[in-house]
Amino acid sequence: MSQIRLETDGAITTVTLSNPGKLNALDLGMWNALADVFTRLSQDGDLRCVIVRGDQGNFAAGADIEEFPQVRDGLEQGMHYHRAIVARALDAIAACIHPTVAAIEGVCVGGGLEIACACDLRIASPSSRFGIPANRLGFALAPDELRHLLQLVGKAVALEILLEGRVFPADEAREKGLLHRVADDVQQEAWKTAQRIAEGAPLAARENKKLVRRLTSQTAGLSEQEYAESFACLASQDYREGVQAFLHKTKPKFSGK
Evaluate whether residue 248 is within a structural domain. no
R_g of the chain computed on alpha carbons: 18
Asked if residue 50 is part of any domain, the answer here is yes
Helix 143-164 and helix 111-118, axial crossing angle in degrees, nearest 10: 120
Establish if 31 belongs to a structural domain: yes
Residue 235 has pLDDT above 90, yes or no: no
Q: What is the pLDDT of residues 61-119, one digit of tens each?
A: 999 989 988 888 878 888 899 999 999 999 999 999 999 999 999 999 999 999 999 99
Q: pLDDT for 191-212, tens place per residue?
A: 999 999 999 999 999 999 999 9
User: Which one, of 113, 100, 105, 99, lies nearest residue 187 by Cα?
Assistant: 105
Q: Work out how many domains the chain is built from and give that number.
A: 1
Question: Domain with 90 in it: what CATH number?
Answer: 3.90.226.10
Q: What is the mean pLDDT of residues 116-132?
A: 98
Convert the pLDDT of each residue in 91-107 to its tens digit: 999 999 999 999 999 99
Secondary structure class of 191 (helix, strand, coil): helix
Closest by Cα among 174, 183, 194, 136 to 7:
194
Asked if 169 contacts 175 with a C-beta cutoff of 8 angstroms, the reply is no
In terms of residue numbers, what domain contains 66? 3-184
State how far the Cα of 140 lies from the Cα of 235, in Å rounded to an integer.
12
Assigned domain for 145 exists:
yes
For residue 170, what pLDDT is reported? 98
Give per-residue pLDDT as tens, 133-154.
Answer: 988 888 889 999 999 999 999 9
In a domain, residue 35? The reply is yes
Is the pLDDT at 37 greater than 90? The verdict is yes
Q: How confident is the model at residue 240 (pLDDT cuts 50, 70, 90)?
A: confident
Is residue 152 one of the residues assigned to a domain? Answer: yes
User: How far, in Å, CA of 226 to CA of 130, rounded?
Assistant: 28
Report the C-alpha gap between 78 and 60 in whole angstroms: 21
Give the DSSP letter string of 19-40: -TTTTT-B-HHHHHHHHHHHHH
- Is 123 among the domain residues? yes
Q: Tell me if 136 sits within 8 A of 242, measured CB to CB.
A: yes
Q: At what angle do helices 143-164 and 87-94 cross, to 10 degrees?
A: 100
Does residue 32 lie in a domain region? yes
